[in-house]
Amino acid sequence: MGRRHSFILGARDALPVSLGYLSVSFTLGLAARQAGMSTLQASVMSLITNTSAGQFAGIASFGAQSPLMLTALAQAFVNLRYVLMSLSLTQRFVPGEPLGLKLLAAFDVTDELFALAMKREAPLDPFYYYGMMAATIPCWALGTLLGASLGNLLPQPVIYAVNVALYAMFIAVVAPPARQNGRILKLAALSMGLSGLMRALPVVGGIAPGLRVILIALPLSFLFARRYPLSEETP
């Protein structure tokens, strides 16, 4: 399969994600305007950054006029999980791909794109991932632009409702492989259970979502790798 075909296939597969991003980033643009950012600032932010939790944290820091160092630390904790996701993703690329191609993919690792990429049979052509990036980044920026410029025209219940679309789409991405593979189902159930438990406990309930994902992913990944090891021949 040629790289052009891989690119087009990635863009096609990411179309539902793009529509979800368009709705979710709409609320992001509205929050940015309420925090005092201009429409241009909000749009450029979403063009070079694609992380809803991180951007909402950054917008809150901007609105509160927090020191830059505090804002940077908050971003590091909120987005910490993407380090693990980037490492896992690039390990599935075609062997021998240059470091530059891997770094380019790591520029836009999101939960939804990661899930779609991990569903593909390895080895993964990086241009498939670039196709997904090309389809989703403009929609994320466009949604922010629309939210920042037109968000005040919509009633609040409608704004709350559009946030549900992305969560429903993400469940649709994860559910089919979980139904087909009992190990994935166990891992997903354990992850959700531990995440809910950590949020309920008073000691760890207030930690950043990104750090919570790291604290759950590291031990579970180790345990499942030991329990269900893959042979060297497994792609």
Cα–Cα distance, 232 to 195 (Å, whole number): 32
Predicted confidence at residue 156, as pLDDT, reads 65
What per-residue string of b and e applies to 102-125 under the rule 16 or more CB within 10 Å gives b? Answer: beebbebbbbbbbbbbbebeeebb
pLDDT of residue 169: 57
Six-digit token pair at 2?
A: 């040629």
Amino acid at 210: G
pLDDT at position 75 is 78
Give per-residue pLDDT as tens, 78-103: 787 788 888 888 888 988 888 888 89
| d(C-alpha 191, C-alpha 199), whole Å | 12
Of the chain, the percentage scoring pLDDT greater than 90 comes to 18
168 vs 82: CA distance, rounded Å: 21
Comparing C-alpha atoms, which of 145, 150, 105 is closest to residue 129? 105
Residues 6+ apart with CB under 8 A from 38: 148
What digits encode the pLDDT tens for the residues 23-64? 888 888 888 888 888 999 999 999 998 887 778 878 877 887
Q: What is the pTM of this model?
A: 0.70
Q: Where are the domains of the chain?
A: 3-177, 181-235
Q: What is the mean pLDDT of residues 118-122?
A: 83
pLDDT at residue 135 is higher than 90: yes
Query: Which residue(s) pair with 93 in the sheet?
Result: 124
